[in-house]
Amino acid sequence: MTLWRDDAVLARPVTAARQRHERRARLYVAIEHDDCVGYGEISPQPERLHGDPSLDEVCDELEHVTVPQLLDVVAREQRAPAWARFNRFAGPRSSSNAAVLLVEMALLDRELRAAHSEIRTLWPALYETPVQSTLSLLDPLDSWFVPPDVGRVRVKTAPGALTEQALERLGALGVALLLDYNCSGASAQEVRSQAERVGAVATLDAVEQPFSVGNLVEHAALARNLGVPVSMDEGVRSFADIHQIVRYQAAAMICVKPARVGGLANARTIIVRAREFGLRVYIGGFFESPYARFVHRALAEHCVSEPSDVGPVAVAGRDESIELDVVRGGFTVAPAAGVLARSEVIGRWG
């Protein structure tokens, strides 16, 4: 097992209410067993925020908990654990969920390759899932960039008045918008006022996570008289969260991020369960490389019709269109040899 770190600078940084997304450290892992290798990837945030772990926390979790668990199972059972079983290894820490996804993804890739199968056999494409793009009202207007053919734009925002120029620019985008507060909303009236102004000039699909994680009461009160759906993002971490959201009628939409919920198996099950409850579901991300985005797209096209974060992420000084190698079986792609060659090896086991 080998772990690499590749630091990427975003070509188009995005400012959120309490964090500016400028760079990402992408962690890649290769797991080789019985002469068959599989790859995984996660892209943790630099600092801990809203309950999501920092890069250092995820690295510590991998070194001291997740990898020792994996090696112990292999030593005891003389084989790699089934990928769909590995989500049970997640502990109560958010860093554990991220670390488990990294290993689980590699186990799934390796398992499919060993069986001479591929991801579309496991997850046949059932939807043409549109791409969701992201921009920010907290950034200069001239820095906005929306790729062609996106199905929806997530717009980062924060409490406060919106300029007429910003509203005009939003209306000119010509696509549905999702207003993302990242837990920064101070009052329901403040959120309603901003949503009404945006909704007057553009199609507003939803307001995402206006209040803090776990604050279901205020989300439910807002949802009753907002006029557009409320969506949960940071507040979706487990099956239990879905049941609570439905119980309180706190949201009509949810964003599921595999790294946040403890892996691909958990993400798929949560999506299916949420849709059974009548929730609209989309898949989110953490500015991953083309590799993880390819895997997330396969999951999205299997079970999500809503626009999702499965499009490319532009990185300064790189042509990410050449950062995947086509392979037989598994996910049918792998991180290109050049990607791993430029990355720093930060761990080797086994």
The domain spans of the chain are: 2-118+325-348, 121-303
* Partners of 40 in the β-ladder: 29
Residue 307, both tokens = 């626009």
Phi, psi of 308 (to 5 degrees): -135, 165
d(CA 350, CA 332): 25
Cβ atoms of 313 and 293 within 8 Å: the answer is: yes
Q: How many residues are given for the chain?
A: 350
pLDDT at 254: 98
**Number of alpha carbons in the 13 Å side-chain half-sphere of residue 215:** 20
Q: Quick one: what percent of the chain has pLDDT higher than 90?
A: 99
Count of helices and strands (H, E) across the chain: 12, 13
Tell me which fold the domain 2-118+325-348 belongs to.
Enolase-like; domain 1 (3.30.390)
What is the rounded end-to-end Cα distance, in angstroms, of the chain? Answer: 6
Band the pLDDT of 1: cuts 50, 70, 90. very high
Give the three-class secondary structure for 51.
coil
pLDDT digits 0-9 by tens, 72-130: 999 999 999 999 999 999 999 999 999 999 999 999 999 999 999 999 999 999 999 99
Measured N-to-C along each axis, helices 239-248 and 216-225 cross at an angle, to the nearest 10 degrees, of: 50
Query: Which residue pairs from 77-86 have beta carbons closer than 8 angstroms and sit at least 24 positions apart in sequence?
Result: 79/33, 79/34, 80/31, 80/33, 80/34, 80/107, 80/110, 80/111, 81/107, 82/107, 82/111, 83/107, 83/108, 83/111, 83/264, 83/265, 84/108, 84/265, 86/263, 86/265
Band the pLDDT of 350: cuts 50, 70, 90. confident
pLDDT at 123: 98
Query: What 8-state DSSP symbol labels residue 118?
Result: B
* The CATH number of the domain covering residues in 121-303: 3.20.20.120
Helix ranges restricted to H, the chain: 55-61, 67-77, 94-114, 119-122, 164-173, 188-201, 216-225, 239-248, 258-261, 264-276, 290-303, 337-342
Phi, psi of 113 (to 5 degrees): -65, -45
pTM over 0.95: yes
pLDDT digits 0-9 by tens, 123-179: 999 999 999 999 999 999 999 999 999 999 999 999 999 999 999 999 999 999 999
**Number of alpha carbons in the 13 Å side-chain half-sphere of residue 25:** 18
Q: Does position 14 have pLDDT exceeding 90, yes or no?
A: yes
Q: Does position 320 have pLDDT exceeding 90, yes or no?
A: no
Mean per-residue pLDDT of the chain: 97
Mean pLDDT computed over 258-262: 97
